Each structure stands twice: as structure tokens, then as C-alpha cells.
Structure 1
Amino acid sequence: MVDADQTFVIVGGGLAGAKAAETLRAEGFTGRVILVCDERDHPYERPPLSKGYLLGKEERDSVFVHEPAWYARHDIELHLGQTVDEIDREARTVHYGDDGTRIRYDKLLLATGAEPRRLDIPGTGLAGVHHLRRLAHAERLKGVLAALGRDNGHLVIAGAGWIGLEVAAAAREYGAEVTVVEPEPTPLHGVLGPELGGLFTELHQAHGVRFRFGVRLTEIVGQDGVVLAARTDDGEEHPAHAVLAAIGAAPRTSLAEAAGLEIADREHGGGIVVDAALRTADPDIHAAGDVASFHHALFDSRLRVEHWANALNGGPAAARAMLGRDVAYDRVPYFFSDQYDLGMEYSGWAPPGSYDEVVIRGDAAKREFIAFWVSEGRVLAGMNVNVWDVTEPIQQLIRSQAQVDTEALADPHVPLESLTS
């Protein structure tokens, strides 16, 4: 029974944590809600950091989940710039802050997110080496890209994933020279496979980006703290005035590990193991957002999803579960990207080896199409490129698990809705 005497603590001030706090109040919870964030900025959304805000098309204030006054108005106790360093499950307390503050919780939500993976090569301590995860990173990188564009400078990006490609697009719009180093044979190889990865190669090459596939960075060369070049394992040296490490993110699980909570293996993305209600093996502790590893019944696999929609929906789902509501978190994974004049949305989950064909509906050459990853006639995932208002029928196709006629799937004249009826 949830009542006004209870205290719910949320660790992590990203989108998942902020939306969980919002949901607790919207659902009528009148107890204490404490939100502890290790950043000094109010909770914000991350997509603009590599998109509109990085390009200077969105104002800084646009990234925040709520205006600063919202937290006090809704009686959310917000602790910024504070790190939780211990969970005592027996006493049901968390320890945070330099003064050793201890807070007892009735329910605890871990929304600690993820952190950028680091390059393990010489030269990463140079001032011109960057990561992009936090608002402060984006603010710094925004100035760097503007300066590179102004001075005809060179940016080397390690990694051709979503962050690497979005920053490459932003850098080219500023006028910087860009080289992307990627060990796989195409961009986004682990997400889109070779069939669609080439599309992004062509897109970026058309805008002047240089790719070096099948190689890795081995050293960042500098002098007096300034980046001068980046070397790759094929013996090449690439001019660089700045380097961005965009080689993925790792879930921030150390707090949960120290508390004895189960962590998924790396094959399943790591993360804190939770059930369909986003609850750990400890019934008083939940996890949501980038850090949560949950079993998805639709794909019969444990997933850890790092994208915006998972935080947007997972935080509220966890909050409802903390309140004792019946929750079965089974959202179809969804994310989006904007690069130059290409906008895309992706729904589903189709890692390499899980599908036997990719079906194209529309004109891939004109970059106006939908791609479907199909296994034995069943749609596992769909990506719409410069085609809009189709996310719902794509997700219906995925959820239905129905065998579809792939010729009809490829035909733009056949309504997607009709394929599940």
C-alpha cells in the first residue's frame, strides 16, 4: 500500500529519471520523491546534443525535460551535482554527497544511464580529444566544430555509429573536414547490416566525409597538448585538429554491482537485470532507461536499449510498477536520426544473423523508402527514410509476428495496415 509516509528515491537525472518523477506525481503519489543527479544541469534530453543543439538550431533551454521551477512546484526534491556512492539494501538507504547524506527509501529507481566508451590508445589525454554524452560535452564540441569550420580544420571521428555520423554531418555543416575511422566494412554495421550501411556511406561521401573502413585508431599524435594527427593500424596518419571518440556507450552499473544486483552479460548489452515490470531481484529496487536489461517477450531475448524512446517510456513504466500497478514493459524499440536532408525512424530489433532478407519499399536511390528486416516472412524491424507517419503500422507489423507476402510488403501501393488484417 503506497501512502504519504513513503519515500521514493530516483538515482539519475536523465530523461528516464525525470519522467519517472513526473509520473509518480501524475499517478497521485503524495510521499517524498527525491531525485539525485550527478550533473549540475537540470534533467535534459540527449538527442539534441548531436542534432539541433549541436548545429546551433535549438536553444540551450530547449533540451531540458522540465523548466527548473517545475521540480519545486511538484514537490520533487532535486539534488544536482550529487553522486550516490552506496546502496545499503538491508537498511534500504542510499548514501550520497560529500557530507555523507543517507536517505532511507521505500522504493528505489536506478536510472543511471550509460557513459561513453573510452579509446585505449596513446594520446587520449590531449585537450582536443572529445566524447559526446553530456550537455557540457555538446557545448564544448559545438565551439570546436565552429572553429574547425572557420579555420578549415580537420576532425577525425572514431566510430561510424549514430553519434559518429550525426556529429560528422554537423561538422560538415560547419565546414570542417571530416574523416571517420570504422573497423567494420560499413557504417552502422551492427544495426543495419551491410545492406543499408552502404546508404549512409554514400550519403556522407556526397557531403565530403572521408571514410576509412576496416581499420582502428592506434594513436593520437600531439604537441604541447594540441592534437596534430591520428594514426590507424594500417600505417596511415590522418591530419586532425580534434578527435571524437564515438565507439559506443557502457551502462553505468557499478552502483548496482556493489549492491549485489544481477548484471546481464555483455552479449546482452550488460545492464541491470530486471523483469517485465522493470524490477530487479530486490522487489524494492527498479531500473529503467539505458542501464536496464529486460527480457522482451516479442523478440524472446534480453535487451538493453540506449535510445530516447526507451527512457521516455521506461521511466514512467517503472514509476507505475513502484506504485504497485500491473506493468509489462514491452515497447517496440524505436529511435530516430537526422543527417543532412535525411531523416529516418527505426522500429524493432534485427541484429546481424537474425534475418534472412531486407525488403525495400520505395526508392532507395532517392532516399525515400522503407526497409524491412524479415525472417521467414515475419517483419523483425523497419526503417522509414524520408517517409513519414508510418511508425504505427510498421510496429503493428512487428508485433503481429504474421507471415507477410514480401512482394506486397515491397509494393508502395499496398497499404501496410492491410498486411496484418
Structure 2
Amino acid sequence: MVSTFQHEAAVDRLRASYAALGPDQPVRLAKPTTNLFRPRQHVSVPGLDVSGLTGVISVDPDASTADVQGMCTYEDLVAATLPHGLMPYVVPQLRTITLGGAVSGLGIESTSFRSGLPHESVVETDIFTGGGEVVTTRPGDDLFDTFPNSYGSLGYATRLRIRLEKVPAYVAVRHLRFEDQEQLAAAIADIVATRSHDGSLVDGLDGVAFEPGESYLTLATWTDEPGPTSDYTGAQIYYRSLQQRSTDRLTIHDYLWRWDTDWFWCSRAFGAQHPVLRRLWPRRWRRSDVYMRLLGLDRRFDIADRLDRRAGRPERERVIQDVEIPVERLAEFLAWFDAEVGMRPVWLCPLVATRAWPTYPLDPGRVYVNVGFWGTVHVGPEAADAPRNRAIEDIVHGLGGHKSLYSEAFYDRATFDALYDGPGLARVKKQYDPDDRLTGLYDKAVGRR
């Protein structure tokens, strides 16, 4: 735990690092890890010192709340709450996602169909603004309500108070197979509406579409009933278990991090799923941040593109996106995606926003399905123009959906402002960042600054 004194000292160091920057120098965080996939312009200016803002300040089991520093990872947050039989309402899939990052960006997981997105369980936030001040905000304040999906353009969270939910020791899991994507969408809508299936309560809901005729929904039910559990940090690989078994059982800890060990299915790109290499790959390195560093090396040295050129393969376009699609249009989107992009598997995660948030305006109470797809497509010389990504933006917009901004975006300014409340964001930014020290959201997401 971090004491109040330590937290205040860390905020003072943050202020000092901000004051040390020249008025024309860009303001960025000095962080050792990232879960963003947006390429950025390289700058040599030192980042803001957030090294002391990485812990949990307190957990209140009676109130079911926690005070958490903004750069605390969910891995450390969960480690502090689970001993009390508590967890955050929504725990994003990757261990090194930070609480502040999930709130100022977006996070999602299998509890989102009943608990919304991570920012919806925040009750108070201290935000270090572009004006160099720490402002305490609460629901209903302009800065608080505009902060989600602002990605640092309004400031950085230094402390957040979040609600926690009680959880037992285990999770019972059922995997339901669907061959028809319309039936899949209908089942999602029914489970979200009733929070049950075949008379059993559903506490977590997500799924995977492997092929047009093979999709699975995973229904998780919290349980205290003891029994044997599966371990997917060893030789077995979690996403393959959806096809191999209809029921499963995990500890609550392993359920929360079931996707992290193999970065969903993306670890196969590094050979980490090959049986021989997996035995040699240290268990402590089977995690998403290690794969992210390997991906960074690939980008730095252009390894995959060099191999493609040597083999005579067409140029690749990176198609790494998460999009929110209304459940009634899900089958239509998946059919389009199969025909125009052809990348599988894709992750499916239903969500329902509990209230309106201006910078990511999902309709409250409406069922959306997050569709996540992460890979590359051989498209040839036009790869640099990102034709698949631009087409995805068009279809998502046309279907009444929204796209997360953690990865590349290609919208023109007018469309971007219409989708992400550009005028409202600019108004709040002007109030709390009067000298325009922080990079604006459009310049971050599309201009790659």
C-alpha cells in the first residue's frame, strides 16, 4: 500500500517535472509500458514523472471501495483487492493496463454487459490538468464526465476512488457453440436482458468467433463451491479450450487473467504456442507486456516486412481495432468483416453503458458488442493508405457503432468531432488547459502526436 504522505510526495514530483518543461515542449508521460497501438512521433523531451503513482492507497472492505493511484496496473490493483474478496467492477484483460489509462481511454471485459466500462464505477478522480493543477472531480462535473476517452488530452488521473464488487473464490464456465451468427446475436441480447441462461445466473459474458460457422459464447458464474480448476498459464492455451470443452472451472484470479497469458491468441505470432518452444519459454515471460516489447522490436527493425519482401509476399496492413456494434447489427458486421477483411478469430464482448458519456456517446441501456480483431492483412502496395482500416471506420459508423482510439484512426476532422464530441471536448480543454499545453485528442488519435 502507498501512504497518503507518499502519494502527496509523488504528486509533488509530477508537478515539478511539469514545471521543468519549457512552454513549447510537448507534455507526455514517462511510462515503461504501454497498451496503445498508435504510432507516435518521436520526441526527446523528458516525460512527466509518474514513477510514484503506481500503487493502491487503500481498500475499504466495508464500503467496497478503493483509492488507487492513476498509474497503478490492474495486476497490482487486483492483488490488493482479492484478499478482501473484492474486485473492480470491470477488470480489463491485460495485466499492465493502468486504472488511469482504462478510465481516460477505454477498457472492457466480461462484466461490462452488467457494469458498463471501467470509468462508470469511478466515484471521484483527482486529475492533473494542462494548467498544472490537481482538480478533484466527481460525476456531473464537466471535467469528470468528459475525461473518459480523452486519452490525456484533458490531463492525467493521479488518484481514483472506485467501487468494488464482492466475488467468491471460483468461476464456473460454460462455452456455448453457435453456427449461425444471427442466433449468436439473439442469444447475447437474451442473456443481457435476463442475466441468465437455462435458469443459471450469468456474471460474466464474452465470446470468440473462430469462423463464420463456429462461434462461442462463454458464460461465467461466480461460485464458492470448491473443486478442481484449470490452469492456462502452462502448456494449455485458454482460447483453444472454448472449442475443446463445454464446461470449465477457474479460480477468480485465473479467470481475470485468462486472456493475458497468450495475449488472446496473438502469442502464436512469436511461436509461444508451439509445444516445444512453450516448454522452453519461461512462465514469467508468458504475458502481454512481454509480447508488446517483442512487437516493438519488430516495428523498430522492420522484421516482418523484411521477411515478407524476401518471400515475395504482398505488403501488410495492420488491422488492430476494437469497435462497438449494436447487437442487432452484429451479424451484419461479421458477415461484412469476413468478406472484406477475412481475419479470425475475433473477440466478442457485450456491454451496456449505464449513463451517457459525451466523448464516447454510447446510448445508455442499449446493448452493444465489442468486436476486437488484432493482426495483419496482406493488401499489397496500397497498405500504406490503410484501406481495410478506413473501410472498417465507414462500416462501423454506418451501423451506428463506435471505435476505440487506442489504435490508429483515419477520420477527417469533421467526422471525428461529430463522433467524439469535439466541440464539448474543446470547451472543457480550454477551461482546464488554457495555454493548450496538452496535445488535443484529434492530434493524438489521428495526427499521431
Q: Same fold (TM over 0.5)?
A: no
Q: Which structure features the higher share of strand residues?
A: 1
Bucket of the pairwise TM-score, normalised by the shorter protein: under 0.3
- TM-score after normalising by structure 2: 0.22
Q: Which structure features the higher share of helix residues?
A: 2
- TM-score after normalising by structure 1: 0.23
Larger Cα Rg: Structure 1 or Structure 2?
Answer: 1
Higher relative CO (CA 8 A, sep ≥ 6), structure 1 or 2?
Answer: 2
